[in-house]
Chain A
Amino acid sequence: MTIALQVLISGLAAGGVYGLFAAGHSLMYRLTGIVNFAFGDLVGLGIFATLLVLAGTSPVTQSGAHEPRFLGALIVGLVLCVAAGVATYVGIVQPYLARGSTIGWVAGTAAVAFAIRAVIGATFQRASYVFPDPLPFHRVGSAGFIRVAGAHVEARAFFVIGLALALALGSAWLLERTRFGRALRAVADDAEGARVVGVPVDLFVALAFGLVGALAMIAAIAAAPGEAVSANTGTLLGLKGLVAALAVRFGPPLRAFAAGLVLGVVEAGIANIHLGSWQLGPSYREVLPIAFVLLLIAAWPSREALEERE
């Protein structure tokens, strides 16, 4: 039971981050019909820009950051992440959408992904880095862990879960209530129609491409000090988001977020839970969910995923 609680909480914390990536993927798909393969790496770019401003490319200790400096670094990272997202839409996605070339945006966004990974890898040449932590979680409980109903849980997990939920619900509110949000929903329903009634479609979609990156980046940075970060961090988070988004066929962003939460818990469960003597173990953590979602879409594609037939 205590194991289950531990799995649930750490899974939800990881899943909250996955969820924001999934929601971003699904929003971008619904706005444009494309999948941004560079999404994870664009966020990774923001994370490493933050790290660069904070500590350069040398290794840092976890508590080496002062708050004002951290805030500045975070803003630099966020601005870069948003700018890179906007640039990806304007430079890579939009031209091929206009031309109706699928292979163009597929290869283009994948190229951006690999180019960013190469740049990060060339700048930060160590295998992994410790991300400095501006919030003193290590002072909470015993070295950052607290006991909940007999289970040892990282205090940070609660913060990450809360932050991810707040970001997800906040942006859902934004989509529902603000003019910008309503315009985006109009674009998702019918881009041509939205253009006709005067929505600046390209501007708003470009902004959306940037902002989903910022949301995912905040969550990723909140979780980052928990484990080592590497050039693969962003890529893998983007991949998890994609798995969750595909599981719900790029449905509404909140549903994709929920799928991300589920994915986090499932991964934690696969890694830790054993039923009697039967246990899967950590090796299966990453491969099983991907294999499952892949088989699911191959065997039971939903109507909206199928190729048009008249």
Chain B
Amino acid sequence: MSTTALTRTGTELRRAFTEARSGWSWRGWIAVAAVALAALVPFLSLPGVRVDGLANTVYLAVAATGLGLTVGGAGLPSLGQGAFLAVGGFTSALLMAREGWPLEPAALAGAAAAVVAALLSGGVVRLKPAFVAVSTWLLAWLVWLFLLAFPSVSGGSQGLIVPERNLLGLAATPTVHFEVALALLVLSAVGIAAVRRSAAGLELSALRQAPPLATSLGVRLGRRRLGAFVASAFIAGLSGGLAVQLASVADPAAYDPFLSFKLLVAVLLGGAAATLGPAVGIAVLGLIGLLADPLARVLQLPLERFDTAVAAVLLLFVLALGGAGIIPWLEQLRPRAERRKRQVTVSYGDAEATGGPADTVLVAEGLRKAFGGVVALDGLSLELARGRTTALVGPNGSGKTTALRLLSGTEQADAGRVLLGGRDVSEASTHERVRLGLARTLQTTVAFAELTALESVLVGRSVRRRHGGAIRAALATPSSRAEERAAETAGLEALALVGLEREADTPAPELTSSQRRLVALAAALAAEPDVLLVDELAAGAGAEELEHLAGVVDRIRAGGVALLLVEHNLRLIRLVADRVIVLAAGRAVAEGPVAEIAETEVLRSAYLGAQRL
């Protein structure tokens, strides 16, 4: 058994090596060369460049790179990264100065303290961006005011003196610090790049671009964002914990909220979208600082104030140019690669014939929801069976969308329950319900602004992935890579099912609104649901499109999915639905086979209402 494991590991390693080699390009060599050159800098004794200042700048770049994950990856406008640097720095300094700890464990303890701080304030990642900005700004002030108010902790205006230490067995000279900081920078950049390309990174990016759409596909907003926030705090805490020994003093004045702002400026200056952007931003700020020094002396201005103003003005300038940052600008200069054409050979056969015993998979009993005094849904019960299409119709405001929200868990019902495969999921979150096989599409045609059609579908697939976690992806474990390939195949299949396999690599915003609806449908399908709730699939569809949609719905049903269509288009309903439920004022007023219901007066009066001519 161990031999098979060994052989498998060997095969996987060889495959990984081949893939890495085919993925390697001149850019890879440039990166390696740049790092090697940078590592030599302390030995060159450049004029006017001090190694300790340089090492400190690289530590800052590490913290900024971490912030890049929060800002660029998760889309959280954090004004508080400096707080984590301070927490890491002072924890480490206190442990070294008062408890006599060695540097490495002290710095790790600093990182752990930063993680604790991030977890304590981590609830804010669930908030709207404006609230995230305020909360992180307050965090930066809180830490600084704390350091000022408690000289017993922070050493007051002199700061805490940090004793000499060894780093990785060598005396911690500025040069050693520089090399360690550089290694840390490379490690965190590579790690963050891997995470951003992983399934978790795709989820983060989906959450950044369209939170409602991503959460409806079962992506866990709080968990994913918290992950990014905490990881970025860890990186800052570690670099703060190490940097404080380099400075040989932990000075509260160095951690005022401007530090957090400076880190954000670096991220935006270098480009939040690029992993290396923040480090480039720090480098630019450092260079400007070097040039600003003599200028400030000539103008006889206090240096630190001048630095602040320069950073602020620079940022305003970049923002005014509508800038995405330096690295994205450079990338725009490069001729864009041809969009690769994908050969798709996926067929979605009508595997299972319709008919057969239709087992019920979803039961809703007495669902009720009131908003204030308005009863939106008043005791709706329904059953959905595999391979059956049920249509939910009714005039605007009759409670159709509310019904979908209660079924999918975006709203909690006031009364009633939902059973999925016999299991009560009334209390379960959207994520949990999607995982158990209850997927849903939204009425809007909002698309993920920066994803292709296939990537959008893969967001829906993420709920089925078990090895897609950030750490596994960063290490590119065999299981995570195998899953990556399987997910792509499943995504293409789902696209093929809705007839959009040719658009797999088209950016989602370039799709027409009816194509976007189909992509959203494919994304929901990629979660391999047993039950699929579809909101207004045929809105605005022409006659030809309707035929196509009917075909798509029939193929999905043939795959054994229980479908619930909320639909205004009666033609589509006639084409595909087995049963119809007519809603009026939150109650089911009629239910039965399409042919039957279509003839009755109930449908007309409820559905057409006053519009009847």
Q: Determine whether A103 belongs to the interface, using a CB cutoff of 8 Å to chain B.
A: yes
- Closest chain-B Cβ to A46's Cβ sits at a distance in Å of 19
A102 to B71, CA, bound (A): 11
Query: Does A162 sit at the interface, judged by CB under 8 A?
Result: no
Residues of A contacting B322 in the complex (Cβ-Cβ under 8 angstroms): 99
Q: Are A103 and B268 in contact (CB under 8 A)?
A: yes
Point out residues on A near B: beta carbons under 8 Å: 29, 33-35, 37, 92, 95-96, 99, 102-104, 106-108, 110-112, 114-115, 117-119, 121-122, 125, 239, 242-243, 246, 282-287, 290-291, 293-295, 297-299, 301, 305-310
Which of A107, A112, A242 is close to B265, meaning CB atoms less than 8 Å apart?
A107
Type the 1/0 row for B211-232, where 1 means its CB is closer than 8 Å to any CB of A.
1100110000100000000000
| Cβ of B311 to closest chain A Cβ, rounded Å | 7
Given contacts A35-B134, A96-B319, A301-B127, 12 further A-B contacts (CB under 8 A): A92-B316, A102-B129, A106-B133, A111-B319, A114-B308, A114-B309, A115-B309, A294-B138, A298-B120, A301-B126, A301-B131, A310-B405
Interface stretch among B299-307, B368-376, B551-559? B299-307
Q: In the complex where A290-B145, A309-B410, A310-B442 touch, is A297 in contact with B127 (Cβ < 8 A)?
A: yes
Q: Which residues of the other chain, A, contact B258 by a CB distance below 8 angstroms?
A: 114
> Which single member of B134, B150, B212, B268 contacts A246 (CB below 8 Å)?
B134
Q: Determine which of B309, B311, B442 lies in contact with A119 in the assembled complex, contact meaning CB atoms within 8 Å.
A: B309
CB atoms of B123 and A308 under 8 A apart: no
Q: Which residues of B contact A (CB under 8 A)?
A: 71, 77, 79, 120-124, 126-131, 133-135, 137-139, 141-142, 145-146, 149-150, 211-212, 215-216, 221, 258, 261, 264-265, 268, 272, 301-302, 305-306, 308-309, 311-313, 315-316, 319-320, 322, 405, 410, 430, 442
Within the complex, the shortest CB–CB distance from B176 to chain A, in Å, comes to 34
The interface residues of chain A lying within 8 Å CB-to-CB of B122 are 298
Whether A122 and B135, one on each chain, are in contact in the complex, defined by CB atoms closer than 8 angstroms, is: no
**Chain A residues with Cβ under 8 A from B306's Cβ?**
118, 122
Answer whether A102 and B138 are a contact pair too, CB < 8 Å, given A115-B309, A297-B123, A299-B123.
no
Taking a contact as CB atoms under 8 Å apart, the answer to whether B410 and A110 are in contact is no
Would A118 and B133 count as touching, CB distance under 8 A? Answer: no
A282–B148 Cα distance when bound, in Å, is 12
User: Nearest residue in A to B260 (C-beta to C-beta)?
Assistant: A110
A310 / chain B contacts, CB cutoff of 8 Å: 212, 215-216, 405, 410, 442
Contact A298 B272 (CB under 8 A): no
User: A121-B305, A297-B127, A305-B127 are contacts. A246–B146 as well, Cβ < 8 Å?
Assistant: no
Bound CA span A34–B137, Å: 14
- Whether B145 contacts A286 by the Cβ 8 Å rule is yes
Main secondary structure of the interface of A (DSSP, over half): helix
User: A242, B261: Cβ atoms under 8 Å?
Assistant: no
Residues of A within 8 A of B133 (CB): 35, 37, 102, 106
Is B130 in contact with A34, judged by CB distance below 8 angstroms?
A: yes
How many Å from the CB of A18 to the closest CB on chain B? Answer: 14
Interface pair A29/B130, CB less than 8 Å apart: yes
| Cβ–Cβ < 8 Å partners of B405 in chain A | 310
CB distance from A295 to the nearest CB of B (A): 7
28 A–B pairs (Cβ distance < 8 Å), ordered by A? A33-B130, A92-B316, A106-B77, A106-B79, A107-B77, A108-B316, A110-B261, A110-B264, A111-B313, A111-B316, A114-B261, A115-B312, A118-B305, A119-B309, A121-B302, A122-B301, A122-B302, A242-B137, A242-B138, A243-B138, A246-B135, A246-B138, A290-B142, A291-B142, A301-B124, A305-B128, A309-B216, A310-B216
